[in-house]
Amino acid sequence: MTYDYLKIIDRFENGQPMEKDHWDVDQIVLTTRELVRKYHLAWDKQVVIPDDPDLADRVFQAGLELARRVGVYSMSTRRVLKFEPNELVDGLKRMPIQLEMGEGADARTLFPRQMMDPRPPLVWAGNPGAPTPEEWFLPNVMSWMQEPIADLVTCGTLTRVYGRDVGTREPTEILATRLELKLLREGLRRVGRPGMGMLAAQSSVSELGNLSVAHPDYLRPCDAHLVPMLNELIMDNRNIARAVNSLDYGMRNASLACVMVGGLGGDAPGSAVIQVASIIASNLVCLADYHLLHPIHIRHVATSTRSVMWVQSVVEQAFARNAPCIIVSDVYPKSGALTHELLYEVAANAIAITVCGGHLEGVGAADGAAPNGTGLDARWMGEVGHAVARQGLDLHQANYLVLKLLEKYEHVFDRPGGNPGVSFDQAYDLERLQPRPEWLKMYDEVKADVNRMGLPIP
């Protein structure tokens, strides 16, 4: 594996020279437009969850062709890595179809889900990437670690430690990432789930923090870290270092490609093509063990918009039909804690992801830009996902429910400043580590409403 990856690095060093603007316009924009036309890709805003197997197959073939034709661009060397014939297909064949995370009684086995899969999705609980004050960090992560429905955990980032701002590629980044892991491990111990698998080192913006926690006292080999691919189809030496860091140590690599819906790929169909290409390429350049599916809207950011949910849905279907692999889809609502809209957004996103073949990660409340996520959000996300699988919803039924839910929250996307709600400490009693009564009341109201819509949730 080390030798194979060194060949990838060599190609980033010796590939075709190219300026970033040329990559963006000639390679991404023009090629994607051509492929959207060639494969006759389009979407209907009233069909957030498509039920069209041929469409999913065409999106997959377009994404595979994009990866073959353009490759991946290095921001560090300003060169293009091109793939060898059949290399991408070989990478697809090597994708894990079973992956154990965590250890002991708390271990979970990740697996590829199918469309309308009766098996419930795994629930990866947390507010990934959200800036979180040091004094709230431990109770914040414990609020979702303690939820029985949570299978694995993740967390926000520490932006200040020991009274100091955390700087990228500065010594404080090491301190922040190590403190994050110490607090995560302490939280798991306190809730009685010490072996629970984690996606962590979120406080590591560069490779520096990531390198500093590859140790069994911090990030264990049974845990995961991020190996991001930058948008669109771009890598750099920072993220290559993250992949290299995993080679001998063995922690799980979560590829992360945040395709910008409405960006270089255009509307949803072009963005889906780039998302497929990014996942396929990540098998090789990110050494991916599983994939985080995280398209975001270029203006609204949230994953709960119509176009982003369409991208998530069709990409999950494309892989479920053509190259089954472990896909964990992020839930990043526009709204934050103590708002009804947050719960409606989470429900819509969880329905779309679950019925199309994804596992669930979240909740990155308030666009993941504020510490406004809680354990109750993760509980609700899991309950909705489990209900979808248990009820055996088909794609048409799921689409009907998502359209009904959009009526409840779509207005927040045009609201100046979004709908951030309140911070964790205002939504939870920090001593009892339970939702405040007004937050629990909203949860009960939304659950009753979703039951009336036709999705019974105990």
Of the pLDDT bands very low, low, confident and very high (cuts 50, 70, 90), residue 189 is very high
| 174 contacts: CB under 8 Å, gap ≥ 6 | 208, 209, 212
Percent of the residues in the chain that have a pLDDT greater than 90, as a whole number: 97
Q: How confident is the model at residue 129 (pLDDT cuts 50, 70, 90)?
A: confident
pLDDT for 405-445, tens place per residue?
999 999 999 999 999 999 999 999 999 999 999 999 999 99
- Compute the mean pLDDT over every residue in the chain, rounded to the nearest whole number: 96
Cβ neighbours of residue 109 closer than 8 Å, sequence gap 6 or more: 98, 99, 100, 101
Looking at residues 171-181, what average pLDDT do you find?
Answer: 97
3 pLDDT higher than 70: no
* Averaged pLDDT for residues 190-194: 98
pLDDT of residue 45: 96
How many residues does this entry show for the chain? 458
Confidence check: pLDDT of 156 > 70: yes
pLDDT at 320: 98
**If 0-12 CB within 10 Å is exposed, 13-18 middle and 19+ buried, where does residue 216 land?**
exposed
pLDDT of 458 > 90? The answer is no
Q: What is the pLDDT of residue 184?
A: 98
The architecture CATH gives domain 99-335+346-413: Alpha-Beta Barrel (3.20)
pLDDT of 352 over the 70 cut? yes
pLDDT, tens digit, 9 for 90 and up, residues 231-265: 999 999 999 999 999 998 989 999 998 899 999 99
Show me where the domains of the chain are located: 99-335+346-413
* Identity of residue 70: V
pLDDT tens for 59-90 read 999 999 999 999 999 999 999 999 988 999 99
Of the candidate ranges 1-5, 41-45, 248-252, the one whose mean pLDDT is the lowest: 1-5
CA proximity to 239, closest of 173, 285, 180: 285
| 380 confidence band (pLDDT: 50, 70, 90) | very high
